[in-house]
Amino acid sequence: MYLHNQVIQGLRDRKRAALARAVTLVEDGSEHAQHILEEAYRLKGRSKIIGITGSPGVGKSTLVDSLIEAIRERGDSVGVIAVDPSSPFTGGAILGDRVRVRSRTTDDGVFFRSLASRGYLGGLSRNTGDVITLFDAFGFDYVLVETVGTGQSEVDIMRYAHSVLVVMAPGLGDDIQAIKAGILEIGDVFCVNKADRPDADRDVAVLEAMLGLNKDWQWRPPVVKTVASQGKGVPELLDKIDEHLGFLKQGNLLEERVSRSYLAALEANLRRQTVEHVLSKSRSDGSLDCALKQLSEGKTYPAALARQLVEKYLCSGV
């Protein structure tokens, strides 16, 4: 029996080891991955997929842990995907992974996995959609996708979520304004964590004011105060997330979110494959070196060169 058949059977039987194996095979781009993904995209569609983002120091990990508690208290199962930066030196993500997993190995209703960034070209966005689909296919009630920061790739990853939770915290210094600004547009629910800190109410007010600038919300994102370390406000936060999912279903907007996630996954794969195609073609026939030489000699500029290469290697498809 082929490895991928064993893994697929394991996924159907909701074996955690099979899920872990599947994620690794997909992350490594193994030839087994395609068979597993084919099946996963057939099985998917059961999970509520929640994207959770916010800058370092807001207490995301603690909040995720207490969200897990709240979800488990309702008797629902939850899978957690943490998209971390990692390093060839330390494999930082994996470390974080172990720590978190160890704290919950006793609970079969929770599964935690960290995804490492794989180098430059679309590294982060490349497999995330596939891994989320593996979790969905496994059939968790909730899948939490946690990312650090407000980089483009984090924003891209949020496109895979049905609901996006943006976490903030008081007293992170000047940068918080920019961070708020950067992710205001992607949040469905906002959380001001560490709400026992002095500036919490001011931050909530600023946030409400910023959200108030947009007059034509279909769904006005609520702002919830939490103290994750004590679990305060977390059940209410989970309620708001469920409310948003309910809103999406009522308005038949869930399909929109889902097809947004398909488009995101397609784009992520296209970005990688088209660029690889053009780069490898132009490498093999020497036109890439020639192109870089032209750039270094100031004979042209990147956008024009890209246009030339696109015209050369992309045909009308007719």
Interaction residues for its own copies, span 157-186 (CB under 8 A): 159, 172-185
**15, 76, 85, 235: residue in contact with its own copies (rule CB under 8 A):** 85
**47, 66, 77, 153: residue in contact with its own copies (rule CB under 8 A):** 153
Minimum distance from CB of 50 to its own copies (Å)? 19
Minimum distance from CB of 75 to its own copies (Å)? 27
> Does residue number 213 form part of the binding site for its own copies (CB under 8 A)?
yes
> Does residue number 313 form part of the binding site for its own copies (CB under 8 A)?
yes
CA distance 268 to 306: 19
Binding piece for its own copies, criterion CB under 8 A, among 8-16, 69-77, 238-246, 280-288: 280-288
Binding piece for its own copies, criterion CB under 8 A, among 7-15, 105-113, 138-146, 297-305: 297-305
For 102, counting Cβ atoms within 10 Å of its Cβ (0-12 exposed, 13-18 middle, 19+ buried), the class is exposed
Minimum distance from CB of 74 to its own copies (Å)? 27
Residue 177, by phi and psi: left (phi above 0), alpha (psi -120 to 50) or beta?
Answer: alpha
Size of the site for its own copies (CB under 8 A): 109
At CA 235, angle to CA 233 and CA 238, rounded to 5? 110
Structure tokens at 278: 């053009």
> Does residue number 149 form part of the binding site for its own copies (CB under 8 A)?
yes
**Binding characters for its own copies, 35-74, by CB under 8 A (x = yes):** --xx-xxxxxx---------xxx-xxx-------------
Please, how many CA atoms are within 13 Å of residue 34, restricted to the half-sphere of its CB? 1
57, 222, 187, 130 alpha-carbon torsion, rounded to 10°: 90
Closer CB to its own copies, 76 or 254, in the complex: 254
Per CB under 8 A, contacts with its own copies among 215-244 are none
Residue 53 contacts residue 154 (beta carbons within 8 Å): yes
Minimum distance from CB of 160 to its own copies (Å)? 11
Side chain identity, residue 156? D
For 57, counting Cβ atoms within 10 Å of its Cβ (0-12 exposed, 13-18 middle, 19+ buried), the class is middle
Binding piece for its own copies, criterion CB under 8 A, among 4-12, 72-80, 88-96, 105-113: 88-96
Per CB under 8 A, contacts with its own copies among 239-278 are 255, 258-259, 262-263, 265-275, 277-278
Q: List the 189-192 sheet strands across, edge first.
A: 110-116, 78-84, 142-148, 48-54, 163-168, 189-192, 223-225
Per CB under 8 A, contacts with its own copies among 93-132 are 93, 95-96, 117, 120-125, 129-130
Minimum distance from CB of 231 to its own copies (Å)? 18
> Does residue number 214 form part of the binding site for its own copies (CB under 8 A)?
yes
Max distance between CA atoms of the chain, in angstroms, equals: 65
CA distance 46 to 96: 27
